[in-house]
Chains A and B, each alone.
Chain A
Amino acid sequence: MTPWRLLDPGPLPAWRQMALDSVVIRARADNRVPDTLRFMEFEPHTALVGYHQAVDLEINRQICDELGVEINRRITGGGAIYMDARQLGWEMCLGQDNAALPRDPDAVYRTLSRVVVETLAAFGIAARFRPVNDVEVAGRKISGTGGVEWGDALIYQGTLLVDFDVETMLRVLRLAIEKLTDKEVLSFQQRIVTMAELLGAAPAMTVVKAEVVRAVQKVLEVTVYPESLTTEEEADWLRVQDSFRQPDWIDRRVARLAGYDVKTAQVKAPGGLLRAQAAVDADAGRIRKVFLTGDFFVYPERAPLDLEASLKDCPLEAAAVHERVAAHYAEGYRYLGVSVDDWFRVIVQAAGLDGKGESDGHHQSGPRDRSH
Protein backbone atom coordinates (compact mmCIF):
# COMPACT_ATOMS: atom_id res chain seq x y z
CA MET A 1 0.00 0.00 0.00
CA THR A 2 1.12 3.55 -0.70
CA PRO A 3 2.94 5.16 2.24
CA TRP A 4 1.76 8.52 3.55
CA ARG A 5 3.55 10.51 6.20
CA LEU A 6 1.76 11.91 9.23
CA LEU A 7 2.61 15.39 10.52
CA ASP A 8 1.29 16.24 13.97
CA PRO A 9 3.09 19.38 15.10
CA GLY A 10 0.75 20.02 18.05
CA PRO A 11 -1.02 23.27 18.95
CA LEU A 12 0.34 26.31 17.11
CA PRO A 13 -0.81 29.87 16.43
CA ALA A 14 -2.79 30.30 13.23
CA TRP A 15 -0.11 32.23 11.37
CA ARG A 16 2.34 29.34 11.79
CA GLN A 17 -0.30 26.80 10.75
CA MET A 18 -1.19 28.72 7.61
CA ALA A 19 2.48 29.20 6.74
CA LEU A 20 3.02 25.46 7.15
CA ASP A 21 0.19 24.78 4.71
CA SER A 22 1.89 26.91 2.09
CA VAL A 23 5.23 25.16 2.66
CA VAL A 24 3.87 21.62 2.58
CA ILE A 25 1.77 22.08 -0.56
CA ARG A 26 4.73 23.56 -2.44
CA ALA A 27 6.98 20.73 -1.29
CA ARG A 28 4.39 18.20 -2.46
CA ALA A 29 3.90 20.01 -5.79
CA ASP A 30 7.66 19.80 -6.38
CA ASN A 31 7.56 16.10 -5.48
CA ARG A 32 10.00 16.67 -2.61
CA VAL A 33 7.75 14.98 -0.03
CA PRO A 34 5.20 12.14 -0.05
CA ASP A 35 1.46 12.45 0.31
CA THR A 36 0.77 13.80 3.78
CA LEU A 37 -1.88 13.61 6.48
CA ARG A 38 -1.57 16.55 8.85
CA PHE A 39 -3.36 17.51 12.04
CA MET A 40 -3.92 21.14 12.97
CA GLU A 41 -4.64 22.41 16.47
CA PHE A 42 -4.83 26.10 17.25
CA GLU A 43 -3.40 27.85 20.28
CA PRO A 44 -4.46 30.58 20.93
CA HIS A 45 -7.98 30.30 19.60
CA THR A 46 -8.51 31.85 16.20
CA ALA A 47 -11.00 33.02 13.61
CA LEU A 48 -10.11 32.07 10.05
CA VAL A 49 -11.55 33.48 6.87
CA GLY A 50 -11.49 31.60 3.57
CA TYR A 51 -8.84 32.58 1.04
CA HIS A 52 -11.03 35.01 -0.91
CA GLN A 53 -13.07 36.45 1.96
CA ALA A 54 -12.76 39.91 3.52
CA VAL A 55 -12.16 39.83 7.29
CA ASP A 56 -14.47 42.74 8.02
CA LEU A 57 -17.44 41.05 6.37
CA GLU A 58 -16.99 37.82 8.30
CA ILE A 59 -15.36 38.52 11.65
CA ASN A 60 -15.95 40.93 14.51
CA ARG A 61 -12.46 42.38 15.04
CA GLN A 62 -13.33 44.20 18.26
CA ILE A 63 -14.69 41.08 19.95
CA CYS A 64 -11.65 39.11 18.79
CA ASP A 65 -9.41 41.73 20.33
CA GLU A 66 -11.32 41.61 23.62
CA LEU A 67 -11.27 37.82 23.77
CA GLY A 68 -7.71 37.30 22.53
CA VAL A 69 -8.89 35.54 19.40
CA GLU A 70 -6.32 35.71 16.62
CA ILE A 71 -7.48 36.41 13.08
CA ASN A 72 -5.97 34.81 10.03
CA ARG A 73 -6.65 33.70 6.46
CA ARG A 74 -6.62 30.16 5.14
CA ILE A 75 -5.05 29.22 1.84
CA THR A 76 -8.15 27.11 1.19
CA GLY A 77 -11.61 28.20 0.09
CA GLY A 78 -14.89 28.29 1.97
CA GLY A 79 -16.31 30.35 4.80
CA ALA A 80 -15.12 31.82 8.08
CA ILE A 81 -14.67 29.47 11.02
CA TYR A 82 -13.79 29.70 14.69
CA MET A 83 -11.18 27.25 15.98
CA ASP A 84 -10.11 26.59 19.54
CA ALA A 85 -8.43 23.66 21.27
CA ARG A 86 -11.68 21.71 21.20
CA GLN A 87 -11.75 21.12 17.47
CA LEU A 88 -9.40 19.02 15.41
CA GLY A 89 -8.23 20.38 12.10
CA TRP A 90 -7.10 17.74 9.64
CA GLU A 91 -5.82 17.89 6.12
CA MET A 92 -4.55 15.73 3.31
CA CYS A 93 -1.87 17.14 1.03
CA LEU A 94 -1.72 14.96 -2.06
CA GLY A 95 -0.25 14.82 -5.50
CA GLN A 96 -2.91 15.40 -8.11
CA ASP A 97 -1.85 12.17 -9.80
CA ASN A 98 -2.85 10.19 -6.69
CA ALA A 99 -4.47 7.02 -7.95
CA ALA A 100 -6.93 6.97 -5.06
CA LEU A 101 -8.46 10.27 -6.18
CA PRO A 102 -11.21 10.49 -8.78
CA ARG A 103 -10.68 13.05 -11.53
CA ASP A 104 -14.01 14.73 -10.96
CA PRO A 105 -13.66 17.50 -8.31
CA ASP A 106 -17.10 16.77 -6.84
CA ALA A 107 -16.17 13.13 -6.49
CA VAL A 108 -12.93 14.12 -4.74
CA TYR A 109 -14.92 15.81 -1.99
CA ARG A 110 -17.23 12.84 -1.71
CA THR A 111 -14.36 10.35 -1.56
CA LEU A 112 -12.28 12.24 0.96
CA SER A 113 -15.29 12.98 3.16
CA ARG A 114 -15.56 9.22 3.66
CA VAL A 115 -12.54 9.54 5.95
CA VAL A 116 -14.56 11.72 8.33
CA VAL A 117 -17.60 9.46 8.08
CA GLU A 118 -15.44 6.43 8.82
CA THR A 119 -13.75 8.20 11.76
CA LEU A 120 -17.10 9.02 13.33
CA ALA A 121 -18.38 5.50 12.72
CA ALA A 122 -15.63 4.24 15.03
CA PHE A 123 -17.37 6.17 17.82
CA GLY A 124 -20.78 4.81 16.86
CA ILE A 125 -21.79 8.07 15.16
CA ALA A 126 -23.67 7.70 11.87
CA ALA A 127 -22.60 10.62 9.67
CA ARG A 128 -23.04 11.32 5.98
CA PHE A 129 -21.72 13.58 3.26
CA ARG A 130 -23.77 16.67 2.47
CA PRO A 131 -23.00 18.48 -0.78
CA VAL A 132 -21.09 20.61 -1.50
CA ASN A 133 -18.61 19.45 1.09
CA ASP A 134 -19.89 19.09 4.62
CA VAL A 135 -20.36 16.04 6.80
CA GLU A 136 -23.49 16.01 8.91
CA VAL A 137 -25.23 13.91 11.52
CA ALA A 138 -29.01 13.91 11.17
CA GLY A 139 -28.84 17.22 9.34
CA ARG A 140 -26.47 18.87 11.83
CA LYS A 141 -23.01 19.82 10.59
CA ILE A 142 -20.09 18.15 12.36
CA SER A 143 -17.34 18.74 9.79
CA GLY A 144 -16.80 21.41 7.16
CA THR A 145 -14.16 21.26 4.50
CA GLY A 146 -12.39 23.28 1.85
CA GLY A 147 -9.53 22.85 -0.55
CA VAL A 148 -6.86 24.39 -2.70
CA GLU A 149 -4.68 23.27 -5.58
CA TRP A 150 -1.15 24.43 -6.20
CA GLY A 151 0.54 23.13 -9.31
CA ASP A 152 0.47 19.36 -9.15
CA ALA A 153 -0.62 19.19 -5.50
CA LEU A 154 -3.80 19.81 -3.57
CA ILE A 155 -4.81 20.26 0.04
CA TYR A 156 -8.18 19.06 1.21
CA GLN A 157 -8.75 20.16 4.79
CA GLY A 158 -11.49 20.37 7.33
CA THR A 159 -12.55 20.55 10.90
CA LEU A 160 -13.98 17.95 13.21
CA LEU A 161 -16.13 19.29 16.03
CA VAL A 162 -14.93 17.22 18.95
CA ASP A 163 -16.35 19.87 21.25
CA PHE A 164 -17.27 23.48 20.58
CA ASP A 165 -17.70 26.83 22.27
CA VAL A 166 -20.83 27.98 20.43
CA GLU A 167 -21.22 31.17 22.46
CA THR A 168 -17.76 32.46 21.54
CA MET A 169 -18.25 31.45 17.91
CA LEU A 170 -21.51 33.39 17.76
CA ARG A 171 -19.75 36.47 19.11
CA VAL A 172 -16.63 36.21 16.97
CA LEU A 173 -18.14 35.43 13.58
CA ARG A 174 -20.48 37.85 11.87
CA LEU A 175 -23.15 35.29 11.15
CA ALA A 176 -25.89 37.77 10.42
CA ILE A 177 -28.01 36.58 13.31
CA GLU A 178 -27.92 39.66 15.47
CA LYS A 179 -31.62 40.17 14.98
CA LEU A 180 -32.70 36.66 15.85
CA THR A 181 -34.84 35.82 18.83
CA ASP A 182 -33.51 33.55 21.58
CA LYS A 183 -35.55 30.72 20.09
CA GLU A 184 -33.97 31.30 16.71
CA VAL A 185 -30.47 31.46 18.22
CA LEU A 186 -31.19 28.09 19.77
CA SER A 187 -32.32 26.90 16.38
CA PHE A 188 -29.06 28.13 14.89
CA GLN A 189 -27.11 26.20 17.50
CA GLN A 190 -29.03 23.11 16.45
CA ARG A 191 -27.45 23.38 13.01
CA ILE A 192 -24.16 22.09 14.32
CA VAL A 193 -23.37 19.13 16.53
CA THR A 194 -20.27 17.94 18.36
CA MET A 195 -18.90 14.55 19.27
CA ALA A 196 -19.19 15.61 22.93
CA GLU A 197 -22.93 16.19 22.57
CA LEU A 198 -23.48 12.92 20.75
CA LEU A 199 -21.30 10.83 23.06
CA GLY A 200 -22.04 12.54 26.37
CA ALA A 201 -18.40 13.61 26.76
CA ALA A 202 -15.62 14.72 24.45
CA PRO A 203 -13.24 11.89 23.53
CA ALA A 204 -9.53 12.50 24.07
CA MET A 205 -7.94 14.25 21.11
CA THR A 206 -5.28 11.51 20.86
CA VAL A 207 -8.05 8.92 20.46
CA VAL A 208 -9.75 10.98 17.74
CA LYS A 209 -6.45 11.41 15.88
CA ALA A 210 -5.78 7.67 16.02
CA GLU A 211 -9.20 7.01 14.51
CA VAL A 212 -8.61 9.54 11.72
CA VAL A 213 -5.35 7.74 10.86
CA ARG A 214 -7.14 4.40 10.87
CA ALA A 215 -9.92 5.78 8.67
CA VAL A 216 -7.46 7.22 6.14
CA GLN A 217 -5.69 3.89 5.92
CA LYS A 218 -8.94 1.99 5.47
CA VAL A 219 -10.75 4.33 3.07
CA LEU A 220 -7.80 5.27 0.88
CA GLU A 221 -5.88 2.00 1.23
CA VAL A 222 -2.62 3.62 2.28
CA THR A 223 -0.24 3.18 5.21
CA VAL A 224 0.38 6.21 7.40
CA TYR A 225 3.61 6.59 9.36
CA PRO A 226 4.65 9.38 11.76
CA GLU A 227 7.23 11.71 10.28
CA SER A 228 8.81 15.11 10.76
CA LEU A 229 9.20 17.96 8.31
CA THR A 230 12.21 17.70 6.04
CA THR A 231 15.13 20.02 6.75
CA GLU A 232 14.18 21.98 3.63
CA GLU A 233 10.56 22.35 4.78
CA GLU A 234 11.73 23.49 8.23
CA ALA A 235 13.91 26.15 6.61
CA ASP A 236 11.11 27.28 4.27
CA TRP A 237 8.66 27.43 7.18
CA LEU A 238 11.03 29.58 9.22
CA ARG A 239 11.59 31.85 6.24
CA VAL A 240 7.94 32.49 5.28
CA GLN A 241 6.00 32.25 8.52
CA ASP A 242 6.32 35.86 9.60
CA SER A 243 4.60 37.03 6.40
CA PHE A 244 1.49 35.11 7.47
CA ARG A 245 0.92 37.41 10.44
CA GLN A 246 1.20 40.62 8.46
CA PRO A 247 -1.73 42.72 7.20
CA ASP A 248 -0.60 42.04 3.64
CA TRP A 249 -1.74 38.46 4.17
CA ILE A 250 -4.55 38.72 6.72
CA ASP A 251 -6.23 41.64 4.95
CA ARG A 252 -5.16 40.85 1.42
CA ARG A 253 -8.85 41.03 0.45
CA VAL A 254 -10.83 44.01 1.66
CA ALA A 255 -14.55 44.74 1.67
CA ARG A 256 -16.22 47.68 0.02
CA LEU A 257 -19.26 47.10 2.22
CA ALA A 258 -19.63 47.68 5.96
CA GLY A 259 -21.38 44.34 6.15
CA TYR A 260 -23.91 42.11 4.50
CA ASP A 261 -27.45 43.37 4.15
CA VAL A 262 -29.58 41.20 6.43
CA LYS A 263 -33.31 40.98 5.84
CA THR A 264 -36.08 38.86 7.33
CA ALA A 265 -39.40 37.78 5.84
CA GLN A 266 -42.25 35.47 6.68
CA VAL A 267 -44.96 33.83 4.63
CA LYS A 268 -48.08 31.92 5.66
CA ALA A 269 -48.24 28.67 3.71
CA PRO A 270 -51.18 26.23 3.93
CA GLY A 271 -48.98 23.97 6.07
CA GLY A 272 -47.76 26.66 8.46
CA LEU A 273 -45.61 29.73 8.88
CA LEU A 274 -42.26 30.03 7.05
CA ARG A 275 -39.55 32.46 8.11
CA ALA A 276 -36.40 33.28 6.20
CA GLN A 277 -33.44 35.46 7.00
CA ALA A 278 -30.99 36.24 4.21
CA ALA A 279 -27.52 37.78 4.34
CA VAL A 280 -27.18 39.49 0.99
CA ASP A 281 -23.88 40.55 -0.57
CA ALA A 282 -25.35 43.04 -3.02
CA ASP A 283 -21.86 44.11 -4.02
CA ALA A 284 -21.08 40.67 -5.39
CA GLY A 285 -24.66 39.82 -6.37
CA ARG A 286 -24.90 36.82 -4.06
CA ILE A 287 -27.09 35.56 -1.24
CA ARG A 288 -24.30 34.50 1.09
CA LYS A 289 -26.42 32.68 3.70
CA VAL A 290 -30.03 31.96 4.47
CA PHE A 291 -31.52 30.87 7.77
CA LEU A 292 -34.87 29.09 7.53
CA THR A 293 -37.24 28.40 10.40
CA GLY A 294 -40.99 28.14 10.94
CA ASP A 295 -43.81 25.94 12.11
CA PHE A 296 -44.50 23.18 9.61
CA PHE A 297 -44.11 19.43 9.15
CA VAL A 298 -41.45 17.91 6.94
CA TYR A 299 -39.76 14.58 6.57
CA PRO A 300 -36.90 14.19 7.12
CA GLU A 301 -36.55 17.00 9.67
CA ARG A 302 -33.17 18.08 8.32
CA ALA A 303 -34.77 19.14 5.02
CA PRO A 304 -34.71 22.92 5.71
CA LEU A 305 -31.05 22.63 6.73
CA ASP A 306 -30.26 20.96 3.42
CA LEU A 307 -32.19 23.71 1.66
CA GLU A 308 -30.11 26.31 3.49
CA ALA A 309 -26.93 24.53 2.37
CA SER A 310 -28.08 24.49 -1.24
CA LEU A 311 -28.82 28.23 -1.17
CA LYS A 312 -25.39 29.25 0.10
CA ASP A 313 -23.82 31.79 -2.30
CA CYS A 314 -26.85 31.61 -4.59
CA PRO A 315 -26.85 34.33 -7.27
CA LEU A 316 -29.06 37.24 -6.24
CA GLU A 317 -31.63 36.43 -8.90
CA ALA A 318 -35.19 35.18 -8.43
CA ALA A 319 -34.78 32.55 -11.14
CA ALA A 320 -31.69 31.14 -9.43
CA VAL A 321 -33.53 30.92 -6.10
CA HIS A 322 -36.46 29.16 -7.73
CA GLU A 323 -34.16 26.71 -9.48
CA ARG A 324 -32.43 25.75 -6.22
CA VAL A 325 -35.67 25.37 -4.26
CA ALA A 326 -37.17 23.24 -7.05
CA ALA A 327 -34.02 21.09 -7.13
CA HIS A 328 -34.34 20.65 -3.36
CA TYR A 329 -37.92 19.39 -3.72
CA ALA A 330 -36.81 17.06 -6.50
CA GLU A 331 -34.60 15.33 -3.94
CA GLY A 332 -37.78 13.86 -2.46
CA TYR A 333 -38.25 15.81 0.77
CA ARG A 334 -41.84 15.64 1.92
CA TYR A 335 -43.24 18.94 3.19
CA LEU A 336 -46.84 18.98 4.39
CA GLY A 337 -48.68 21.93 2.88
CA VAL A 338 -45.52 23.82 1.94
CA SER A 339 -44.78 24.12 -1.76
CA VAL A 340 -41.80 25.22 -3.85
CA ASP A 341 -43.54 28.53 -4.43
CA ASP A 342 -44.06 29.09 -0.69
CA TRP A 343 -40.33 28.75 0.03
CA PHE A 344 -39.54 30.73 -3.09
CA ARG A 345 -41.77 33.62 -1.96
CA VAL A 346 -40.31 33.88 1.54
CA ILE A 347 -36.69 33.60 0.36
CA VAL A 348 -36.99 36.21 -2.41
CA GLN A 349 -38.70 38.53 0.05
CA ALA A 350 -35.88 38.11 2.56
CA ALA A 351 -33.35 38.65 -0.22
CA GLY A 352 -35.14 41.81 -1.33
CA LEU A 353 -35.92 40.36 -4.76
CA ASP A 354 -39.70 40.49 -4.63
CA GLY A 355 -41.17 42.98 -7.02
CA LYS A 356 -37.80 43.84 -8.45
CA GLY A 357 -37.57 41.11 -11.02
CA GLU A 358 -34.33 39.41 -11.81
CA SER A 359 -30.98 40.96 -11.20
CA ASP A 360 -29.29 42.16 -14.35
CA GLY A 361 -26.23 40.18 -13.41
CA HIS A 362 -23.95 43.23 -13.43
CA HIS A 363 -22.75 44.37 -10.05
CA GLN A 364 -20.13 46.34 -8.31
CA SER A 365 -17.22 44.38 -6.98
CA GLY A 366 -17.27 41.98 -4.02
CA PRO A 367 -14.26 41.46 -1.74
CA ARG A 368 -11.22 42.75 -3.58
CA ASP A 369 -7.49 42.26 -3.42
CA ARG A 370 -6.08 45.02 -1.30
CA SER A 371 -3.69 46.19 -3.95
CA HIS A 372 -6.54 46.91 -6.39
Chain B
Amino acid sequence: MATQPASRWQVRDDFSYHPRHHWCREQADGVLMGVTDYTQERAGDILYVSLPVPGETVRAGEPMGSIESGKWVGQLYAPVSGVVVAVNERVAADPRLLNRDPYEAGWIAVIRPDAAGSLDALWDADRYRAALEEMAEDL
Protein backbone atom coordinates (compact mmCIF):
# COMPACT_ATOMS: atom_id res chain seq x y z
CA MET B 1 0.00 0.00 0.00
CA ALA B 2 1.39 3.38 -0.95
CA THR B 3 2.33 5.53 2.01
CA GLN B 4 3.23 8.54 -0.13
CA PRO B 5 0.81 9.41 -2.95
CA ALA B 6 2.76 10.10 -6.13
CA SER B 7 0.33 12.90 -6.96
CA ARG B 8 2.02 15.08 -4.35
CA TRP B 9 4.80 15.66 -6.89
CA GLN B 10 3.96 18.01 -9.72
CA VAL B 11 4.60 16.65 -13.23
CA ARG B 12 4.25 18.98 -16.23
CA ASP B 13 2.41 17.48 -19.19
CA ASP B 14 4.41 19.33 -21.83
CA PHE B 15 7.88 18.27 -20.60
CA SER B 16 10.03 15.20 -21.25
CA TYR B 17 11.65 13.37 -18.34
CA HIS B 18 14.91 11.57 -17.66
CA PRO B 19 14.66 8.59 -15.28
CA ARG B 20 17.00 10.34 -12.84
CA HIS B 21 14.27 12.87 -12.18
CA HIS B 22 15.25 15.66 -14.52
CA TRP B 23 12.91 17.42 -16.93
CA CYS B 24 13.61 18.93 -20.31
CA ARG B 25 11.90 20.89 -23.02
CA GLU B 26 13.00 21.83 -26.50
CA GLN B 27 13.45 25.50 -27.31
CA ALA B 28 15.11 27.48 -30.06
CA ASP B 29 18.68 27.36 -28.72
CA GLY B 30 18.66 23.80 -27.41
CA VAL B 31 17.16 21.68 -24.66
CA LEU B 32 16.19 23.50 -21.50
CA MET B 33 16.54 21.24 -18.45
CA GLY B 34 16.15 21.18 -14.68
CA VAL B 35 15.27 18.93 -11.77
CA THR B 36 11.75 17.73 -11.09
CA ASP B 37 9.47 18.53 -8.18
CA TYR B 38 10.23 15.04 -6.84
CA THR B 39 13.96 15.83 -6.69
CA GLN B 40 13.53 19.09 -4.84
CA GLU B 41 10.99 17.66 -2.42
CA ARG B 42 13.10 14.65 -1.58
CA ALA B 43 16.24 16.78 -1.20
CA GLY B 44 14.58 19.28 1.12
CA ASP B 45 16.23 22.64 1.75
CA ILE B 46 18.86 22.87 -1.02
CA LEU B 47 21.98 24.63 0.28
CA TYR B 48 24.38 24.53 -2.65
CA VAL B 49 24.29 24.12 -6.41
CA SER B 50 27.26 23.54 -8.67
CA LEU B 51 26.56 24.15 -12.35
CA PRO B 52 28.35 23.03 -15.49
CA VAL B 53 30.33 25.60 -17.43
CA PRO B 54 28.97 26.94 -20.74
CA GLY B 55 30.88 25.28 -23.53
CA GLU B 56 31.27 22.04 -21.58
CA THR B 57 30.44 18.80 -23.36
CA VAL B 58 28.06 16.55 -21.45
CA ARG B 59 26.89 13.00 -22.04
CA ALA B 60 23.36 11.72 -21.48
CA GLY B 61 22.97 10.12 -18.07
CA GLU B 62 26.36 11.37 -16.81
CA PRO B 63 26.80 13.85 -13.92
CA MET B 64 27.28 17.45 -15.03
CA GLY B 65 26.82 19.31 -11.74
CA SER B 66 25.62 18.81 -8.19
CA ILE B 67 23.28 19.93 -5.44
CA GLU B 68 23.64 19.59 -1.68
CA SER B 69 21.14 19.36 1.12
CA GLY B 70 21.39 17.81 4.57
CA LYS B 71 25.12 17.08 4.09
CA TRP B 72 24.22 14.95 1.07
CA VAL B 73 25.62 15.67 -2.39
CA GLY B 74 23.38 14.64 -5.27
CA GLN B 75 24.32 14.86 -8.91
CA LEU B 76 22.75 16.82 -11.73
CA TYR B 77 22.60 14.51 -14.73
CA ALA B 78 22.64 15.50 -18.37
CA PRO B 79 19.36 14.31 -19.92
CA VAL B 80 20.84 14.50 -23.42
CA SER B 81 24.33 14.48 -24.92
CA GLY B 82 25.60 17.78 -26.25
CA VAL B 83 27.21 21.07 -25.34
CA VAL B 84 26.07 23.34 -22.52
CA VAL B 85 25.20 26.71 -24.05
CA ALA B 86 23.70 28.47 -21.00
CA VAL B 87 23.35 27.99 -17.25
CA ASN B 88 21.05 29.64 -14.76
CA GLU B 89 23.31 31.76 -12.56
CA ARG B 90 20.31 32.67 -10.40
CA VAL B 91 20.12 29.16 -8.96
CA ALA B 92 23.83 29.28 -8.12
CA ALA B 93 23.19 32.53 -6.25
CA ASP B 94 19.97 31.33 -4.63
CA PRO B 95 19.74 27.50 -4.58
CA ARG B 96 16.31 27.67 -2.94
CA LEU B 97 14.94 28.61 -6.36
CA LEU B 98 15.08 24.87 -7.03
CA ASN B 99 12.77 24.31 -4.07
CA ARG B 100 10.44 27.19 -4.89
CA ASP B 101 10.05 26.84 -8.64
CA PRO B 102 11.85 23.79 -10.11
CA TYR B 103 10.05 23.92 -13.48
CA GLU B 104 10.42 27.60 -14.33
CA ALA B 105 12.71 30.02 -12.46
CA GLY B 106 14.78 27.09 -11.19
CA TRP B 107 15.89 25.83 -14.61
CA ILE B 108 19.47 24.54 -14.62
CA ALA B 109 20.94 24.69 -18.12
CA VAL B 110 20.39 24.75 -21.85
CA ILE B 111 22.13 21.97 -23.78
CA ARG B 112 22.59 22.00 -27.54
CA PRO B 113 22.08 18.32 -28.42
CA ASP B 114 24.53 16.36 -30.54
CA ALA B 115 21.77 14.92 -32.65
CA ALA B 116 18.20 15.63 -33.61
CA GLY B 117 15.54 13.63 -31.81
CA SER B 118 17.58 13.33 -28.64
CA LEU B 119 14.42 13.68 -26.54
CA ASP B 120 12.84 10.65 -28.18
CA ALA B 121 14.51 8.28 -25.71
CA LEU B 122 13.14 10.17 -22.73
CA TRP B 123 9.88 9.59 -20.92
CA ASP B 124 6.68 11.52 -21.47
CA ALA B 125 4.72 12.83 -18.49
CA ASP B 126 2.52 9.74 -18.19
CA ARG B 127 5.50 7.41 -18.13
CA TYR B 128 7.19 9.56 -15.48
CA ARG B 129 4.02 9.65 -13.38
CA ALA B 130 3.90 5.86 -13.55
CA ALA B 131 7.51 5.67 -12.35
CA LEU B 132 6.69 7.96 -9.43
CA GLU B 133 3.73 5.74 -8.56
CA GLU B 134 6.04 2.74 -8.41
CA MET B 135 8.49 4.56 -6.18
CA ALA B 136 5.79 5.89 -3.91
CA GLU B 137 4.92 2.30 -3.06
CA ASP B 138 8.35 1.89 -1.46
CA LEU B 139 8.42 5.12 0.51
Contact = CB atoms under 8 A, between A and B. Distances in A.
Contacts of B75: 149-151
Contact of A315 (B42, B68, B70, B96): B96
Nearest to A367: B48
Contact of B66 (A52, A146, A313, A368): A52
Contacts of B138: 103
Given A52-B47, A103-B139, A371 B53 contact: yes
Given A51-B66, A313-B47, A372 B73 contact: no
Interface residues of B, number: 26
Contacts of B68: 50-52, 77
A97 to B, nearest CB: 11
Contacts of A103: 135, 138-139
A147 B50 contact: no
The winner among B72, B74, B94, B96 for most chain A CB atoms within 10 A is B72
Interface in B43-59: 43, 45, 47-48, 50-51, 53
Interface residues of A, number: 39
Majority-rule SS of B interface residues: mixed
Nearest to A104: B139
Contacts of A253: 50
Interface in A235-252: none
Given A51-B66, A52-B68, A368-B92, A75 B73 contact: yes
B63 interface: yes
A17 interface: no
Contacts of A363: 93-94
Nearest to B69: A77
Interface of B: 42-43, 45, 47-48, 50-51, 53, 63, 66, 68-75, 89, 92-94, 96, 135, 138-139
